[in-house]
Structure 1
């Protein structure tokens, strides 16, 4: 109550400062937006999104390919057997010796470890060992490994067809640094993870929040890292990967 009272008082002060005497009209938030606090509404919205994704899967893949390439991704469409072979090809072409992977299950499903066996490419899985040193010690070691790694490979939480982006929600075995520190990032996307736009992504995340009461941070990645100086000279890789690959599983 005290928080609501402080908010009301603050808004009243702002209105007076602007010379407005009448209180602002109440704004009704549409139920279909990601701002709804109603669990039933959020659940129905998630169900509708799932049905839409299922019915338009091929269309969304085509849209994602176009928008992702426009955003600077190198896009590869592959089945599960080809995906790991493509990752190996990228690593060999770049003469990489150190590849880090997240704990996303999709990387197990495509057989990434098996694809890199017998090569000079070292593959390290970033996941905490409960029987090992403290989490802080392990986290510091992982950070050191990420700084010197050649490639970071991750799954994704979702891909956004409209913007050519992927989202990665943090969690156990999923550190945002795997997609940020190595100079090359490879993201593996399942077809059922592709949503039409950011509206659907935020609705899905809102539903998770209402169910769990909290959310971990989410990264949204839209192509390689790009920075421009005052002379508008574009530089890739200044604050993240200079090269990004999106592998879409069909």
Structure 2
């Protein structure tokens, strides 16, 4: 965790380390106040359930949605729900996710697709908050690719893997570095544990 904390800070993450889920939820509340957020959207990572973000946001007037479709939805209803969630991600001020892994070497978070976990929560809002639990930290990309190879061999690879290594940065135009063009310009990593 200490190595991840250092490398993430070097990659321009705003890093907050705590042992307390309550402190983590209060940090999210403070970030929301600082950016004057009106809407937030979160994934269904189990790490977020332990934080009880809903309770922390109570009384703030900030709307908090969950990126999950009704499991019974099918056909047109399912597509309609997905379209509505995509629109919520586009208009959200803050996206909050857990992670599947974090890479200490690079200060990166890794998101893998599954029900309730969509990359749009981490990509579309201008502010992204990622919650990392201590058991999710891998030393380097070598360990990540070893695990992913095993997923490939068992047929559980999924359709993508999202590696997030700090705020969006681009120097496409006249070699001038600009932040937040292709994704969040402000990123926060909460290290829990």
* TM-score, normalising length: structure 1: 0.73
Q: Equivalent residue of 1:134, what SS? A: helix
- Select which of 94, 100, 119 maps to 2:41: 100
Q: Where has structure 1 moved over 3 Å in runs of 4 or more?
A: none
Structure 1 residue 156 corresponds to structure 2 residue 99: yes
Aligned position for 2:89: 146
Aligned position for 1:74: 14
Aligned position for 2:4: 64
Aligned position for 2:62: 121
Let me know the Cα RMSD of the aligned residues: 1.3
Please report how far the alpha carbon of residue 146 of structure 1 lies from its aligned counterpart in structure 2 after TM superposition: 0.9
Kept after mapping to 2: 8 A contact 1:63/1:162: yes
Structure with the greater alpha carbon radius of gyration: 1
Q: How many residues align?
A: 190
Q: Which structure has more RCO (C-alpha within 8 Å, separation ≥ 6)?
A: 2
Distance 2:86 2:18 in 1: 31
Structure 1 residue 191 corresponds to structure 2 residue 134: yes
Distance 2:77 2:33 in 1: 34
Alignment of 1:2-13 (within 5 A): none
> Whose helix fraction is larger, Structure 1's or Structure 2's?
1
Distance 2:48 2:192 in 1: 11
Distance 1:230 1:121 in 2: 36
Unaligned runs of 5+ in 1: 1-60
Kept after mapping to 1: 8 A contact 2:113/2:158: no
Unaligned runs of 5+ in 2: none
